[in-house]
Structure 1
Amino acid sequence: MIEVDVGLDLKSFKLDVAFGDGEGITALFGPSGCGKSLTLGVIAGLRRPDRGYVRLDGRPLVDVEQGVFEPPHRRRIGVVFQDANLFPHLSVRQNLLYGRWFAPKGAERLGFDAAVETLGITKLLDRQPARLSGGERQRVGIGRALLSCPKLLLFDEPLAALDMSRKLEIMPLIERIRDEFHIPMVYVSHAVEEVVRLASRVVVLQNGKVKKIGTPNEAFGADAALEDDRFERASALKAVVGREDPVYGLTELKHPPGSIWVAGAVRPAGRAVNISVRASDVILAVEQPKGLSPRNTLAGAVLTIEADGGPTVTISHRARRRRAACRDGDAQGGRRTRSEVRESWSSP
């Protein structure tokens, strides 16, 4: 359980944030300069707050009023940065074993072989960092953090410098670590897709303050406090992996109002996944579209139309239920989404 309630005055910028969570991944989301990485630095012990506290499983890591400040190397926190920051003169194996120095004596240790196998880096152990790709360096960086036997993992935009192919390699690994090792994580990102897929709770930051805390759908959906950037609005949907279409390279995601087809292979079948649908990726039609390439069509009803005096409006709509198992639109995945009427649907 991580509890954060801190303030920091840098004259040109003031940080004042408070949140707490126990299991899974808590995402710190917001635009550049909103205080995400600064908050992570306070948790890791790289910054001293002017007020407040950070507690991990009830143990104070920093408490300004009580005069407590645990140094970073004693906090049992693993940190993965945007750049993996590997030691260039050490092999992959030596970089991984370096994390062992920070594991306290008597602590339950994660097996080296188990970590290497989970991250898929067995064939890289004798290489030098200079001979690794960006995705491979991030895998090693995550492994080094894991092998320090952390009670908390911090990720500071670990995928920001990677291309889409490498991102699609790393995200399943983070999911696997979340599900198999049950280590709480705080994940910094400004990418909606990453946050929706990985996080169970989202802390939206703006100008150093908490603007909203909630599930991904609460943070980005129809009721989200993102009026300053309507094109960031999205719906976070829960779906189940269905069949693959090898001819067109698509995978079916089963959703109560209907199937959603996405590019590439998503495995295994039957697994629950989170997906995001941006407002700017939706087109509305009063009848079934014909002669178009999109495969994803969901029936729905318009709820509201919001105008702000500009050339566009925001439409909120609810998908219709297609199965009796969907008792409630919001509870079972028939989410409200918002779309700009001038935008068109993005085909998978």
Structure 2
Amino acid sequence: MSGAAQRILLQWQRGNFALDVDLHLPAQGIAVLYGPSGCGKTSLLRCVAGLERARNALVQLGGTTWQDDAQGVFVPVHQRALGYVFQEASLFAHLSVRENILFGAAHWRGAALPTSVEEVIALLGIGRLLDRGVSGLSGGERQRVAIARALASEPQVLLLDEPLSALDGARRQELLPWLERLRDALHIPMLYVTHAADEVARLADTLVVMEAGRVRACGPVAEVLAQVDAPVVLGEDAGALLLGQVQQCDTRWHLAAVQCAGATLWLRDTGLALGQRVRVRVLARDVSLSLAPLQDSSIQNAMPCMVRAIAPGAHPSQALVQLQLERGGQGADGALLLARVTCRAVDALGLVPGRAVWAHIKSVGLVG
């Protein structure tokens, strides 16, 4: 696949709703389209697929131009090298799992599966299901088969429209690790629609926040979640997402040390392996600030930081402080944290951009 960046520029209207977006996305990884129901996420995906005809559009994905109204180019949906996974698996009931997957690889001749599809089947853990009918599959198994069928066509891009929304909580948690494996193993761009906070935190490489048909924010997921001018709330509160690696497991206290941007965070060990890459969520309300390290405290996660920005909080008494870790290499400027504190505390500590502080993290959540 070409290493060219993806470009989605389009306008689309139905009734009183108008979609107007201009996106530049990386050539690889999962770009999650996130926002409330009715904000235009699915409409955007359908325009990219060619199921809806956008206007004033330029759609370039997988190194190919699918629509360029300035040049009179519009590639019909059946000629676009894409895989599409819907909310419902929509498998063919009269076909076996193997036959459903082979239907996706219609260009392939013969009863054997091509090597690339065998690899996808292994990644999704559905090899034992190949000779079964689809009627007896669980919801999570059906969606894994649907994803394999979409990938069997060897698409240049994979579009996923809330693929977990029809599943119950247990089946959602069952399928998320398989999607993580696909993200880490495949080298094609994915556009993933969701309004679920845990799916954003676990899967997104790039986060596109949508609101009323417009893009409110777009960028690497850790940067977007740490912004203060228009905070993105996932679930309970705004907060930062840190990417780290397990460096140590303390069997006595059942804790694991995770290296995040040069600093160490201790969190509950849930069976983590040394060297394992993890994502850590730190809510703004769980971060307190001081001008010096605290002594004799039960809070064991403390990081030296620099105040980068301060913005008003949701209530007049509050402020949201953006912090930059002093050490580490998660980007040239290091990783970012958020702290929700009172305006009185901001004044008492003399907090201004550039001020050195200590961030004391009361609670850390392992994503996944």
Deviation digits for residues 263-318 of structure 1 (CA, Å, limit 9, x no counterpart): 63344x313333332335x1537656867xxx763345694765558375134263
Secondary structure of the corresponding residue to residue 97 of structure 1 = helix
2:347 corresponds to which residue? none
Aligned counterpart for 1:48 among listed residues 27, 44, 53:
53
Please tell me whether the aligned partners of residues 27 and 199 of structure 1 are also in contact (alpha carbons under 8 angstroms): yes
Please tell me whether the aligned partners of residues 306 and 313 of structure 1 are also in contact (alpha carbons under 8 angstroms): no
1:336 corresponds to which residue? 337
- Residue type matched to 2:141 in 1? E
Aligned counterpart for 1:11 among listed residues 15, 19, 29:
15
- Residue type matched to 2:146 in 1? G
- Residue type matched to 1:180 in 2? A
Deviation digits for residues 236-284 of structure 1 (CA, Å, limit 9, x no counterpart): 21210244567887654222332242563344x313333332335x153
Shift of 1:133: 1.7
Which deviates more from structure 2 when the two are superposed, residues 249-258 or residues 122-131?
249-258
Aligned counterpart for 2:265 among listed residues 244, 250, 259:
259
Shift of 1:204: 1.7
Quick one: distance in 2 between partners of 1:78 and 1:288? 55
1:159 corresponds to which residue? 164
* TM alignment of 1:299-310, pairs within 5 A: 299=303, 303=307, 307=312, 310=315
Quick one: distance in 2 between partners of 1:289 and 1:32? 47
Shift of 1:99: 0.6
Secondary structure of the corresponding residue to residue 240 of structure 2 = strand
* TM alignment of 1:1-348, pairs within 5 A: 1=4, 2-21=6-25, 22-101=27-106, 110-163=115-168, 165-223=170-228, 225-226=230-231, 232-244=237-249, 251-255=256-260, 256-262=262-268, 264-267=270-273, 269-280=274-285, 282=286, 284=288, 287=294, 297-299=301-303, 303=307, 307=312, 310=315, 313-316=318-321, 318=323, 326=328, 331-333=333-335, 335-339=336-340
Secondary structure of the corresponding residue to residue 126 of structure 1 = coil
Quick one: distance in 2 between partners of 1:327 and 1:20? 24
Change (3 A) 1:305 1:200: closer
Structure 1 or 2: larger strand share? 2
Alpha-carbon RMSD = 3.5
Shift of 1:234: 1.8
- Residue type matched to 1:146 in 2? L
Quick one: distance in 2 between partners of 1:266 and 1:98? 39
Deviation digits for residues 104-132 of structure 1 (CA, Å, limit 9, x no counterpart): 9xxxx553322221211111122232322
Query: Which runs of 5 or more residues in structure 1 are unaligned?
Result: none
Secondary structure of the corresponding residue to residue 122 of structure 2 = helix
Query: Which runs of 5 or more residues in structure 2 are unaligned?
Result: 343-360
Shift of 1:320: 6.2
* TM, length-normalised to structure 1: 0.81
- Identical positions, percent: 35
Quick one: distance in 1 between partners of 2:157 and 2:210? 21
Quick one: distance in 2 between partners of 1:247 and 1:88? 52
Quick one: distance in 1 between partners of 2:24 and 2:115? 26
Please tell me whether the aligned partners of residues 53 and 64 of structure 1 are also in contact (alpha carbons under 8 angstroms): yes
Change (3 A) 1:242 1:92: farther
Quick one: distance in 2 between partners of 1:231 and 1:225? 16
Change (3 A) 1:91 1:340: farther
Change (3 A) 1:230 1:171: closer
Quick one: distance in 2 between partners of 1:338 and 1:277? 9
Please tell me whether the aligned partners of residues 245 and 277 of structure 2 are also in contact (alpha carbons under 8 angstroms): yes
